Structure 1
């Protein structure tokens, strides 16, 4: 999606919600040499990649409903690139991925914010604005995030003390997201849903790469906990919020939205980030931004071709 002022506010809020603690993450040495603006640009681009991955996942499902398997396949393949290549490489460069203890600590901070501050506030505001369905969903998600918080804390205690067991992963109640209009009326609730959607997409992406890190080090229980929690964030929380937001449209509209977003990243966002990183001497970041810019341009062309083919 093309960023608006509201979406940029959502990005900032959600980065705080699952923020990168400066003392918790065991970052590579190269990260400490990155300039602050480069780190900020990496965080912004990670947010965009995470949101694209989540969006394309549900756009693919809508294409399936419309019996457009080629478009569904294109969306799923692109979603994988956004998460497993772009987001993952940016997260590594930004020092977001640490060891299991660092990753659990980061997850605890994010879940604490969402369960005690963000979602309770959104629930109160939706209640005040008469959006009872959103108030109920926000309150329910706050409870889920509190449970995730406790599970991550328990897993961290196991790592620190060697006693007890890592909790079993939660099970996601998958919510279908068919095309439809918004189911809330307040502008404030719509804005809060946008913020929440970005936060859930980012949590899914972070927990997915945290799970991969844990699996690589042989910590399968922590990997399963992150994977199960990631599924809840995407297929239950993001999905439930997307239904209320009227996030998914018909496939032609979804393709137009995707083309606009990919073109913005390809021709504006990533080139700007690359120039800034180059000027700051952060050459690895500049090259990554340029590489991702080329990829996004290719994604835009593929989506445009799919739209033309639909007629």
Structure 2
């Protein structure tokens, strides 16, 4: 998609389910982050644990995208060591924390199941989420955001159509997988928010979390496609993932004023990592333990310990700044 976890206009309308996401009505009733974080296979973990794993994946996907932007900003300011720290931490969030959560949640299925997930998510974002965000931004006077949300909604529709075509090819063995979209990298420099309404700011945050998770999940789906001997499908997922990250997330980050000075970015990173280490993940671990989901509980505890180390590393870097 040229827009495209965050995936929440209709949050609360329904809970995560182990049933198939095939029906269009259900696809439109469930937020896109839930579609992207699940497939139709039966779950080994309890619904609350699955919900917590989804929240974790959204946070880790957002951290990956944000920290890479913070790293670029640090380089601009002449702090290469801090840029390296941000990028290294981003890789841990994506390639360890998010992937481990995805395994526990059973995110990746067959190529056909993965395409159905993608279609459901893109349909929701195209028909409901981004259109709703655009209407709200327009009413609140944030016209630039309204325009961006509308453009991304259109992108998501094109992504959905490409995935539908790919699903037909995968299920019938006839036809050609669509060519992968090419992402244009949008630069994101330090700056103040370009929107004024609290609702628009919240919707941008939701959208960025969605794009971060979409990027991560599509890369997982791409890896699965390569394992099954379908490089064309892998390229489609990878290209769409690039659009989600380098265009949609980046464009939303510009409007949200996500990137600040390196000093301010480090402050945000310390605060976020500390919260995950002391509140978020320990709480998830406690619930998973009570539910008997021991593997998930262990994951949450281990990730909390990692986030504590991240917080300490960011604080050490912060202490070196004047």
| TM-score in same-fold range (> 0.5) | yes
Deviation above 3 Å: which 4+ runs of structure 1?
Answer: 7-13, 20-27
- Which consecutive residues of structure 2, in runs of 5 or more, have no partner in the other structure? 1-5, 13-29
1:297–1:45 CA distance, 2 compared to 1 (3 A): same
1:254 aligned partner: 265
Q: State yes or no: 1:238 paired with 2:249.
A: yes
Q: Are the counterparts in 1 of residues 36 and 121 from structure 2 also a CA contact under 8 Å?
A: no
1:19 aligned partner: 34
Q: Are the counterparts in 2 of residues 21 and 106 from structure 1 also a CA contact under 8 Å?
A: yes
1:292–1:12 CA distance, 2 compared to 1 (3 A): farther
1:75–1:113 CA distance, 2 compared to 1 (3 A): same
Q: Are the counterparts in 1 of residues 7 and 211 from structure 2 also a CA contact under 8 Å?
A: no
1:67–1:249 CA distance, 2 compared to 1 (3 A): same
1:131 aligned partner: 142
Q: State yes or no: 1:96 paired with 2:115.
A: no
1:197 aligned partner: 208
1:121 aligned partner: 132
Q: State yes or no: 1:304 paired with 2:315.
A: yes
Structure 2 Cα separation of the partners of residues 35 and 225 of structure 1: 32
1:3 aligned partner: none
C-alpha deviation, 1:128, in angstroms: 2.0
User: SS at 1:179's partner residue?
Assistant: coil
Return the TM-score normalized by structure 2: 0.88
User: SS at 1:249's partner residue?
Assistant: coil
Return the TM-score normalized by structure 1: 0.91
Q: Are the counterparts in 1 of residues 89 and 310 from structure 2 also a CA contact under 8 Å?
A: yes
- Once the two structures are superposed, residues 63-113 of structure 1 have per-residue CA deviations (whole angstroms, 9 ceiling, x without a partner) of 111121111111111111111111111011111111111111001000000
1:20–1:95 CA distance, 2 compared to 1 (3 A): farther
C-alpha deviation, 1:163, in angstroms: 0.7
1:10–1:197 CA distance, 2 compared to 1 (3 A): farther
1:4 aligned partner: none
C-alpha deviation, 1:18, in angstroms: 3.3
More helix by share: 1
Structure 1 Cα separation of the partners of residues 317 and 83 of structure 2: 10
Q: Are the counterparts in 2 of residues 18 and 111 from structure 1 also a CA contact under 8 Å?
A: no
Q: Would you say how many aligned residue pairs link Structure 1 and Structure 2? A: 300
C-alpha deviation, 1:127, in angstroms: 1.8
Q: Give 1:113-192 correspondences, 5 Å limit.
A: 113-192=124-203
C-alpha deviation, 1:49, in angstroms: 0.8
Q: State yes or no: 1:107 paired with 2:118.
A: yes
Q: Give 1:40-51 correspondences, 5 Å limit.
A: 40-51=51-62
- Once the two structures are superposed, residues 116-159 of structure 1 have per-residue CA deviations (whole angstroms, 9 ceiling, x without a partner) of 11111111222222222111111111111111000111111000
- CA root-mean-square deviation: 2.0
Structure 1 Cα separation of the partners of residues 280 and 185 of structure 2: 33
C-alpha deviation, 1:11, in angstroms: 11
